[in-house]
Amino acid sequence: MERIRAFVALNLPVPVIEQISKLQVELGAEAERVGLRVAWVPATNLHVTLRFLGEMPRETAFALRDRLAAGLAGRRSFGLQVRGVGAFPELERPRVLWVGLRDDEGALARLAAEVGGWVDELGFAPEPRPFHPHLTLGRVKEGAGDGVGDGAGDIGTRWADHVVGPTVPTEVVLYSSELQRRGAEYTAIARFALQRSGRGER
């Protein structure tokens, strides 16, 4: 039985992805200054993870596709603010650099909870960690970053309140992920367009 790695993601419009890519370039210069070697996520792979699923039989992915199609039919989009640079586990010892999403109305959190519920219905173990809305910008390379806590903290100080701007998500996507030598390669299994909210999209 064929198995695939998969996840459910939220995609943002191209113009805001382009702005995030510019942010990556600026952060790249800062990271180099403080001695961080970062593998930056390509613009085509920038997304908001709603639920990571790991490996599963392909048939299970198709069952999830059908459940997402039913649950997301007619779903309207919503507004978000892309702002604030941070890191996991912390900026003083970063392993993952991210840009945050401000979800004032709670719509993104509700969507993530719904998706999580549909996933759990198919027998997946519940996600133990709380949802933290963000887009991963880059991953610090193994062996890099040791002893650069002060410099990495400077990045947090300078960029913690950086505002990319408002945006309205365009679609939810069920992706498969295949690890290649050059990095992860994502393939859309199914796309679910969100209806335009009538707000100013970017």
Place of tokens 């100080």: 157
Amino acid at 126: P
Do 161 and 154 form a contact (C-beta atoms < 8 A)?
no
Both tokens of residue 42? 């390509």
Of 134, 140, 169, 194, the catalytic one is 134
Do 81 and 115 form a contact (C-beta atoms < 8 A)?
no
Contacts of 53 (CB under 8 A, 6+ apart): 5, 6, 7, 8, 64, 119, 124
Round to whole Å and give the CA distance between 193 and 104.
22
Does 47 qualify as catalytic in the annotation? yes
Do 128 and 116 form a contact (C-beta atoms < 8 A)?
no
Of 12, 17, 41, 47, the catalytic one is 47
List the catalytic residues.
Answer: 47, 134
